[in-house]
Chain A
Amino acid sequence: MTASLLVQSAVIGLSIGSIYILMALGLTLMFGMMHIINFAHGAVYMLGAFVIYYVFFQGGAPYFAAFAVAMVLLGVFGYLVERGIYRPIKGGIEPTLVALLALSTFLEAAGYPVFGQLDKHVPSVFEGTRSVLGVSISVERLMIIPIAAALVAGLYLFINKTKIGAAMRAIEQDKEAAALQGVDVNMVNGLAFAVGFALAAAAGALIAPIFKLDPMMGDQPLLKAFIIIILGGLGSIPGAILGGLMLGLIDSVVATALGAEPAFLLSFVFIILLLLFRPAGLFGYAP
């Protein structure tokens, strides 16, 4: 592998890693508060990409407007899922996981009759290439990095500086105590669903101009996000960011050298070994 190829795959790894981070952050936020894993996260990513297809490409709206529409629409959807699925099950973790799994397979399967059998393509939003360390990279992929970074920074400020963020952290520490202090746990859980769904939608919206769109497109990033949050430690936000960057780099560099399938197999072997020797993940608390 030449140096320029290494730089190229590292930059691409960074941009793909940013997508994974957006996915993993929502998962880990929801896990920290409610101890559930949102199996429908991949389907939400897919829906985010399809909103870009219909609003930006078919509807002719500006890209960033479509981007905002995707985040808002799916954020509202997330809130409704909390009301309609999470809340009625009343905290039963296993039934909740299975219900979210069913929601995911429903959305994916319904995608075929609704969106059509053929793969969809969204035209390029940012044209051209930019030279990075002497290697030319498409602006399309480069742009993912600052946009994702801005979203991560926004999430950081939201969680650490706002009242709702404080309520989320309180629920994460102790749900009953938070409720006793007057936190409306149901409402805040609903907002966590909304934030998680909106971030997944953003990830899908960012990837829409780069990859082809089909109803199952969310499965791969969902699995990657699982690996990341196991890697970083469930519930840990810094862990999700570092895990995402690591997996993005490993993925891209190993995939360039050996192919995409060995890269995935390698990351699976890695997390199994990690679970054996360091079950809390690289940065997480003890499970």
Chain B
Amino acid sequence: MRRNIVIPLGLGVGVLLVVFLPLIGGDYYVYLFALVFTNIILASSLRPSLMCGQLNIGHSGFMSIGAYTSALLAKNLGMPFEISLLCGALLAAVVGLAIGYPALRLRGVYFAMVTVAFVEVIRLIAQIWVPLTHGMSGLSGIPKPNLLGMTLVTKTSQYYLVLFLMLVILTVLWKLESSRLGLIWKSIGMADNLAQSLGVDIAKHKLLAFALGCFFAGMAGAFYAHFIRFLFPPEFGFLMATNILVYNFVGGRGHFVGPIVGAIFLSLLSEPFRGSPYETIFFSIAMLSTILFLPGGLITLPARLGGLRWQRTASAPTSSPVA
């Protein structure tokens, strides 16, 4: 009875907070939450691939492709943001198809190793293609995002842009996951041999799920490029790729909200030590302890705690007869 009120109430407060955050909080919170929303897009876009049982440790590489493509198209060719964003996302998806086609036909571990190496490849390309990317000096002077010819000057307007982008992407991903396609992904992840014997083309579906994730990671990267307005190759390295994976595992892989919960929880908690080694230490401890002690992730925590409480009252029914 009480739980029926708590969840909608919490959601309502959350929605109000997110919508009116720029009015209540200062610039710092606008900035912070725009990055949290970017992380949510990244984490959720990894989910289809993970559902198929594919460990993609290279998501930041696709984010990097989207970021550099969109930034360079807008900066050098003056392309409008809507188009450059799409181009960045498309290129990320195409590269995803090219890498995924050979790697996904094999066992999962091959795919994991290839994606790890891929992150390094993208970082190196961004680093040595100096005439285009400015290499290790970093790419600066990226134009602010614009919509329908109007430049979004303030961080607040960019905050609403990424909020909108996130909601659209989450809706698309949710629709796909609750369609027949989501069922196929789940069946591949649970028992790919069985799925194949029932006529599912597993290689094709794994590849599609992977490329879809790359597309949205590219989109997140494109927004990030125009929001931060400075790109530096090592930023999109191995650590960011693991963080995206950590959001999924710590949040929980059993449900659509898992990566969202994980991204919000970890981005906010790690904020005090962002950029220092302690951020990574925090992430890795969160990851290890989740896998060892809470394999279902944070989303299973309420049920677990509820189960504990129930057990306690069940084991000592006479001590508290009234409550």
Contact = CB atoms under 8 A, between A and B. Distances in A.
Interface of A: 31, 35-37, 39, 85, 88-89, 93-95, 97-99, 101-103, 105-106, 108-113, 219, 223, 226-227, 229-230, 234, 259, 261-262, 264-265, 268, 271-273, 275-276, 279, 287
Contact of B55 (A98, A112, A230): A98
Contacts of A108: 280
B110 A275 contact: yes
Given A106-B285, A110-B281, A35 B109 contact: yes
A271 B124 CA distance: 17
A264 B283 contact: no
Given A94-B53, A264-B124, A268-B121, A99 B288 contact: yes
Given A219-B238, A234-B107, 14 more contacts: A102-B284, A102-B288, A105-B239, A105-B242, A109-B280, A262-B128, A265-B125, A268-B117, A272-B99, A272-B103, A275-B105, A275-B106, A276-B101, A279-B102
Nearest to B57: A101
A151 B110 CA distance: 27
A106 B110 contact: no
13 contacts: A39-B116, A94-B55, A95-B249, A99-B288, A101-B245, A103-B288, A109-B277, A219-B120, A223-B116, A230-B114, A234-B107, A264-B124, A268-B120
B281 A106 contact: yes
B53 A265 contact: no
Contact of A109 (B110, B118, B284): B284
Can you list the 5 inter-chain pairs with the closest CB atoms, starting with the nearest? A109-B280, A106-B284, A102-B287, A275-B102, A112-B277
A220 to B, nearest CB: 8
Contact of B291 (A37, A95, A268): A95
Contacts of A259: 128
Contacts of B106: 275, 279, 287
Nearest to A36: B109
B117 A223 contact: yes
Given A105-B239, A106-B285, A264-B121, A97 B292 contact: no
B162 interface: no
Contacts of B249: 95, 98
A276 B116 contact: no
Nearest to B128: A261
Interface in B72-127: 99, 101-103, 105-110, 112-114, 116-118, 120-121, 124-125, 127
Given A226-B113, A230-B113, A265 B238 contact: no
A261 B127 contact: yes
Contacts of A273: 102
A97 B55 contact: yes
B261 to A, nearest CB: 17
Nearest to A225: B113
B109 A105 contact: no
A196 to B, nearest CB: 15
Contacts of A268: 117-118, 120-121
Contacts of B105: 275, 279
Contact of B292 (A88, A110, A223, A261): A88
A107 to B, nearest CB: 8
Classify chain B's interface size.
35 or more
B138 interface: no
Nearest to A107: B284
B74 to A, nearest CB: 27
Interface in B18-55: 53, 55
A261 B277 contact: no
Contacts of A36: 109
A94 B101 CA distance: 20
A70 B281 CA distance: 24
A256 B55 CA distance: 35
B245 A89 contact: no
Contacts of A261: 124, 127-128
B182 interface: no
A95 B288 CA distance: 9
Among B101, B102, B127, B278, max chain A CB count under 10 A is at B102
A282 to B, nearest CB: 14
Contacts of B109: 31, 35-37, 93, 97, 234
B142 interface: no
Contact of A272 (B57, B102, B116, B245): B102
A19 B277 CA distance: 28
B173 to A, nearest CB: 20
A287 B285 CA distance: 33
Residue among A102, A219, A261, A273 with max Cβ neighbours from chain B (10 Å) = A102
B254 interface: no
Contact of A275 (B103, B281, B291): B103
A31 B109 CA distance: 9
B291 A287 contact: no
A103 B117 CA distance: 19
Contacts of A279: 102, 105-106, 110
Contact of B280 (A105, A226, A234): A105
